[in-house]
Structure 1
Amino acid sequence: MKNEQILLAERPKGMPTTDTFKYEETEVKAPKEGEVLLQTLYLSVDPYMRSRMNDAKSYVPPFQVNEPLNGGIVGRVEESTVDHLQKGDYVVGYLPWKRHITVKAKHLQKIDPNVAPISTALGVLGMPGLTAYFGLLDIGQPKEGETVVVSGAAGAVGMVVGQIAKIKGARVVGIAGSEEKIQYLKEELGFDEVINYKTTENIRADLKKACPDGVDVYFENVGGEISDAVASLFNKGARIPLCGQISMYNLEKVDVGPRIQTRLLMNSALMKGFIVNDYAEHFGEGMKQLGEWVSQGKIKYAENIVDGFENVPDAFLGLFKGENLGKQIVKVAE
């Protein structure tokens, strides 16, 4: 049976293009002892993958040129050599970008399709949801009546952060890049205020108006001028979970802006970088609580699903153009 995979064709300079990716035919390998054969159903594209395209040291090894890219994938078991996974079962794992994948069963987690749509294992009930949960609650620690600001608020992580902050009784201000996103965050998710960073004439003034009592928690997803503006409003004891810097991932030169250390010092504020795997031993707790909130309707989610394995590069590039409301996912097969 024919198979197809997506390779990293070259290391991009600045914004990646479709030339960054290369499609290649390959074989479907029969599973050996302890392995299963999957058909890819949904494939996740995420901003952090851009940094892995650089040949630089990070918290995970870089992608290799002429090797398959990889990330979160939901698949269906086609063949199995293990007892706990049977043909037709749904699983999620961190896997190479292929239509059919042969992988050790120990690297997979079974999904119950009766709990929620299986695609949520890549979003609200997967890595983005857990990132929001642990980053906000462990580092941000929002309290009732405090003001929480979320940049990248309409992304897969940001929208969950805002809703958890509301559950904890905080006032939530989001920053997003389209009127559609602003309307969704306010009307569907209950954000108190949302600022359109693309149309504002003065983001500092808009933030000051939206945060009359200052900022107690800033969930940082974007970096750049937006973060400089939020920093000017930090309160005493502010907490800043540092999750992402999407505005800087495609820069070809080092970004130089206002130094934040003075703001942190003046306000006895805490800024802490983290990655979701820092909390791996507590994933069960996070999944249980997120699942309860979703089932109770306390957390809603949005998915932007792009159809077709052939459209994976476009879906990835769309992340940096702000095309997605919620989790960006590629549907590979039914």
Structure 2
Amino acid sequence: MEVFVPHQNVNNIYLEEIIRFSDSKFIFGNINEYKSSFKIVNIHFPEAIFNWKRPTEDELIDLERELLLWKKHSKIVFTLNDIESHYDRENKFINLFRLIQRHVDAVIHLGNYSFEKFKHLFSENCSHVVIYHPLYASLTENYKTESFSKELKINLKEKYIVTVIGALRSADEAKLVFKIFNKIPVKNKFLVVPTMFQFINMPSYFPYRFRKIYRAVVERIFCYPLQKKDYFFGYTFLDHKYMVDLVEKSSLVIIPRIKNLNSGNLYLGLTFDKPMIIPKVGNLTEIADLFNFPVLDLKKNNFEEVIKIQLDPKIEFSFKTNDYLEKKKVFMPNKIAKEYDSFFNNLINTK
């Protein structure tokens, strides 16, 4: 079966984990490369359809025309990574998301929270299923890694490394990270955020040559009272060969999401059996509950309680129990791929 993804692949390799075990052939391309022979059209990131740029009204009209054409020959499936764009502070993509919600034939939810809360946003004839996000198993299978600390000339030996792998998307997420980090009662702690402050744009009235100065000032404001020796921030996507090394060396992983429906960072932490600080949001709570992980309830402000549990040395033994290992099998890519294939086949065989 040929599955058309109407946008290019993204840096998040979760879909590749599914593709390598799927019986379906996934084909990436722009909306004009659709063929009537495609049985399934699978949308993962609506913004990627327009290369992460705000679509014009004419482009939305053209997309709706395409969607209606696709529905004549294919089933359109929306994998619901999120209900709105991650970076959409100005509601630039809301009409795009609503358009897709209106016309898709089926939705793959990454958790029951999503299924229960957002099912009503789609048409009555839309099919729904819960299929979880896969682990990043390929990163543990003979993956060639390179030293993160050597590449960036940072000595991480004998440090309690706290990492935030995913890009921070708002000032509130950054504040949450610093609040958690400052409450960790460890002397030799070191914070690593490879993709930091992407959410901050220098005002247009500032000359471009001052961008580094502006960034440095913003960094000091956010980081106070931390010293430079206590953290490292990058500003671009971290190559997977360095990311794997960083995660393996990490003592604790922070999931900085406040409003998101899902987070691949959680599954990255699961992949490498790392203690995590997981906020009580979206589908994250369901996965945390499955593994009996504590969740950070921002309303109850239970920071100290969650941090204490995750810093307990006994937590490493819990990652070796049969119960934990059996639960991880639910998220193995080969299992998730079979669930995708089964759902796709059921769709095309349903009148």
- Tell me the TM-score normalized by structure 1: 0.30
- Tell me the TM-score normalized by structure 2: 0.29
Structure whose residues are more often helix by fraction = 2
